[in-house]
């Protein structure tokens, strides 16, 4: 270290005199000291005030320039030295050196700038102001096609520099994207796929940029899908495949790229991994199986990519995914059920799958998860059944296959995601199926559970779906027994509250159900309707200018139906409904205006 002090003193003198030979000797000593103890040497350099001198040594025509840049690169490996490098005014001369023709100068300058930018806001900001990023991108473009080792090393350093410059910084990443870095990096990957270090650097850069939504369109206009799949096929090492996966996942969120990945043959690679890893109990194999099957499900979220893989239900991929459902591997069961839910996104696919026995497979899967089952698998299988139940033609087939019985086994579940899907599945199944709606609506256990879930204030989705199912049971069954069961279970107040929902569709469903209650079982429901303040709520809905036409219409239909009850009739009279209703006779919606005239007549007669 005494030698180091002498060197620093000598360096101060020679830096001023510019005698290149003695300067070179001093620089070599510094590099040696940094190699032995980087932190201590850096502290000494900072203390000596020599950093400011380095700025004057970074001149293109000097033979020592590369060594000075190298020293700065080594110093900047230490976090505490990055801001001092910026404060010493080193960024501007370093960026100027990026215009050099000397490969060694470019290499060391790229390293120095990359290290100063690493995790340093000040470093990045200074490089940004000096315009360093654009020069580096221009170099990448012009050097892209040269495959000699020295050039590949330089390309790797430049990629690394851009990565450190923009890592986790959205605005700098957006700047690089606007400068057109993505097509250049994709081209690099294609040409230099044999070079592990450069490939790795490109992948990390893609991983950073792919998180940004604005990057997806640029990626979609390149052949990134083809290059990544090509690279993926070559990887034997788990860690390298993991790196490719980390780029594929964010990119595959884009529908255009999903289709490109499918066309490039990614799915076949994923299926192969699943086959290889399915029986392994090694931690890394289990992780890779999960990643591969999750990515497979993600690819099926795009309409075009999904339809391409469905191939009319005859496709190899669809058949392979089907085989995951009966497997003993929870991850595959989950991915299989989610994939079916994704395939079940149009009527044609749903009808084909139901006709070919998918329902029985999903019911068997649910059966295996009734007692202490896997919640994610339950949720996925119920999602698939719910989607399959959407086409009218499938409902009766699924009901006769025993789907409601299979689903009701999960009524005791305490998991909101399972409760939510269970409710949605039942609601889909009974749509326009009077017999099934009556059967479920007179199932006291179910109705009591629905009433309980209608109060699940912590889970708005479950609460909303429970209300909608209660209403659907009445609307589709039009059954007195169903209404009595709901009254006895305390469900009326929830239907009245539902009429005040912020969602018009839910308000409407509630009002139609309440009108049926009033028409079929007014005597039984009278007290509950009174205590739930239905009449006041209807008055508010009719008086509120923001209420949708169908809400006003159904509220008036309901008012007329309530006139059969003495106590409710009295409430209607006390609230001066005639004023509100007569105003609606001139409503722009013809149905509302006509119903207002009818309601006004009825109110006038009854008063």
pLDDT for res 83: 96
Choosing from 130, 163, 197, the residue where a domain stops is 130
pLDDT digits (tens, 9 = 90+) for 280-339: 889 999 999 999 999 999 999 999 999 999 988 888 889 999 999 999 999 999 999 999
- Distance between CA 556 and CA 327 in Å, rounded? 55
Whether 129 and 172 have beta carbons less than 8 Å apart is answered as no
pLDDT for res 106: 97
Alpha-helix residue ranges (DSSP H) falling in 145-212? 149-166, 170-178, 181-191, 196-210
My answer on whether 320 and 346 are in the same domain is yes
Mean pLDDT value across residues 546-574 = 92
pLDDT for res 16: 65
DSSP 533: T
Q: Is the pLDDT confidence value at 50 over 90?
A: no
The answer to whether residue 109 is domain-embedded is yes
pLDDT for res 372: 72
My answer on whether 304 and 338 are in the same domain is yes
- Distance between CA 553 and CA 461 in Å, rounded? 27
The answer to whether residue 173 is domain-embedded is no
- Distance between CA 149 and CA 468 in Å, rounded? 67
My answer on whether 414 and 457 are in the same domain is no
Name the pLDDT band for 107 (thresholds 50, 70, 90).
very high
The answer to whether residue 418 is domain-embedded is yes
pTM confidence score? 0.82
Name the pLDDT band for 20 (thresholds 50, 70, 90).
low
My answer on whether 420 and 471 are in the same domain is no
Whether 34 and 71 have beta carbons less than 8 Å apart is answered as yes
Name the pLDDT band for 588 (thresholds 50, 70, 90).
very high
Name the pLDDT band for 359 (thresholds 50, 70, 90).
very high
Mean pLDDT value across residues 363-379 = 91
Choosing from 104, 130, 156, the residue where a domain stops is 130
User: Cα dihedral angle (3, 7, 10, 11), rounded to 10 degrees?
Assistant: -170
Residue 588 token pair? 């722009």
The H or E element containing residue 434 is helix 434-441
Domain hosting residue 36, numbered range: 1-130
Mean pLDDT value across the chain? 92
Residue in this structure with the two tokens 């479920």, named with its chain if needed: 440
- Distance between CA 514 and CA 555 in Å, rounded? 10
Task: Report the domain count for the chain.
Answer: 4
Q: How many angstroms from the chain centroid is the CA of residue 35?
A: 46
My answer on whether 419 and 448 are in the same domain is no
Angle at 123 (CA atoms; ends 121, 124), nearest 5 degrees: 65
The answer to whether residue 175 is domain-embedded is no
The answer to whether residue 141 is domain-embedded is no
Alpha-helix residue ranges (DSSP H) falling in 222-368? 224-234, 238-251, 255-263, 266-277, 283-299, 303-310, 316-324, 330-343, 347-355, 358-367
The answer to whether residue 248 is domain-embedded is no
pLDDT for res 62: 83
The answer to whether residue 366 is domain-embedded is yes
Q: Which of 90-99, 244-253, 481-490 has the lowest mean pLDDT?
A: 244-253
pLDDT for res 234: 87
My answer on whether 545 and 502 are in the same domain is no
My answer on whether 467 and 399 are in the same domain is no
- Distance between CA 414 and CA 332 in Å, rounded? 24
Mean pLDDT value across residues 140-146 = 94
Choosing from 81, 105, 130, the residue where a domain stops is 130
pLDDT for res 99: 95
Mean pLDDT value across residues 193-214 = 90
Name the pLDDT band for 185 (thresholds 50, 70, 90).
very high
- Distance between CA 295 and CA 309 in Å, rounded? 14
The answer to whether residue 539 is domain-embedded is yes
Q: Is the pLDDT confidence value at 18 over 70?
A: no
Q: Which of 156-160, 314-318, 595-599 has the lowest mean pLDDT?
A: 314-318
Mean pLDDT value across residues 235-262 = 90
pLDDT for res 607: 62
Mean pLDDT value across residues 227-239 = 87
pLDDT for res 2: 54
Q: Is 204 helix (H, G, I), strand (E, B) or coil?
A: helix
Residue 352: which CATH number?
A: 1.25.10.10
My answer on whether 507 and 450 are in the same domain is yes
My answer on whether 484 and 594 are in the same domain is no
My answer on whether 324 and 418 are in the same domain is yes
My answer on whether 517 and 561 are in the same domain is no
Q: Is the pLDDT confidence value at 17 over 70?
A: no
My answer on whether 426 and 317 are in the same domain is yes
């Amino acid at each position: 270290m005494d030698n180091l002090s002498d060197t620093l003193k000598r360096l101060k003198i020679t830096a001023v005199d510019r005698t290149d030979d003695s300067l070179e000797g001093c620089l070599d000593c510094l590099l040696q000291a940094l190699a032995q103890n980087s932190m201590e040497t850096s502290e000494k350099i900072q203390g000596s005030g020599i950093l400011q001198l380095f700025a004057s040594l970074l001149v293109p025509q000097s033979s020592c320039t590369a060594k000075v840049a190298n020293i700065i690169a080594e110093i900047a490996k230490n976090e505490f030295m990055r801001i001092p490098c910026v404060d010493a005014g080193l960024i501007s001369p370093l960026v100027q050196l990026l215009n050099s023709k000397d490969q060694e100068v470019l290499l060391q300058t790229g390293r120095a700038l990359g290290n100063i930018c690493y995790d340093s806001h000040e470093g990045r900001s200074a490089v940004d102001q000096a315009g360093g990023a654009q020069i580096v991108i221009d170099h990448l473009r012009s050097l892209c096609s040269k495959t000699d080792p020295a050039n590949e090393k330089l390309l790797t350093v430049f990629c690394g520099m851009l990565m450190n410059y923009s890592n986790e910084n959205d605005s700098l990443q957006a700047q690089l994207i606007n400068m057109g870095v993505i097509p250049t990096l994709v081209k690099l990957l294609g040409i230099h796929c044999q070079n592990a270090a450069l490939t790795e650097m490109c992948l990390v850069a893609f991983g950073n940029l792919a998180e940004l939504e604005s990057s997806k369109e640029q990626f979609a206009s390149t052949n990134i899908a083809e290059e990544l799949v090509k690279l993926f096929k070559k990887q034997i090492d788990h860690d390298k495949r993991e790196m490719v996966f980390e780029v594929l996942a964010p990119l595959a969120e884009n529908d255009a790229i999903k289709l490109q990945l499918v066309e490039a043959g990614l799915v076949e690679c994923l299926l192969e991994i699943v086959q290889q890893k399915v029986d392994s109990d090694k931690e890394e194999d289990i992780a890779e199986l999960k990643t591969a099957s999750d990515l497979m499900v993600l690819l099926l979220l795009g309409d075009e990519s999904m339809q391409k893989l469905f191939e009319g239900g005859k496709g190899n991929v669809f058949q392979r995914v089907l085989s995951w459902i009966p497997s003993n591997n929870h991850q595959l069961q989950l991915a299989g059920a989610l994939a079916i839910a994704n395939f079940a996104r149009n009527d044609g696919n749903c009808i084909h799958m139901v006709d070919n026995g998918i329902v029985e497979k999903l019911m068997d899967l649910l059966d295996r998860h009734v007692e202490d089952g896997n919640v994610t698998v339950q949720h996925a299988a119920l999602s698939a059944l719910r989607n399959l139940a959407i086409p009218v033609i499938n409902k009766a087939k699924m009901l006769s296959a025993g789907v409601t019985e299979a689903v009701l086994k999960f009524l005791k579940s305490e998991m909101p995601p399972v409760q939510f899907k269970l409710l949605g599945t039942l609601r889909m199944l009974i749509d326009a199926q009077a017999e099934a709606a009556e059967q479920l609506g007179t199932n006291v256990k179910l109705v009591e559970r629905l009433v309980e879930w209608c109060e699940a204030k912590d889970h708005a989705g479950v609460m909303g779906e429970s209300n909608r199912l209660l209403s659907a049971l009445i609307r589709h069954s039009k059954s007195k027994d169903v209404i009595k069961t709901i009254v006895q279970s305390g469900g009326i107040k929830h239907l009245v509250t539902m009429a005040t929902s912020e969602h018009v569709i839910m308000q409407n469903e509630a009002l139609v159900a309440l009108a049926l209650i009033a028409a079929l079982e007014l005597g039984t429901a009278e007290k509950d309707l009174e205590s739930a303040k239905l009449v006041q709520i209807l008055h508010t809905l009719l008086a509120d200018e923001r209420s949708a036409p169908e809400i006003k219409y159904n509220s008036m239909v309901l008012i007329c139906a309530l006139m059969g009850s003495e106590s409710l009739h009295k409430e209607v009279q006390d609230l001066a409904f005639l004023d509100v209703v007569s105003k609606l006779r001139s409503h722009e919606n013809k149905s509302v205006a006509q119903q207002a005239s009818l309601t006004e007549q009825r109110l006038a007669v009854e008063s």
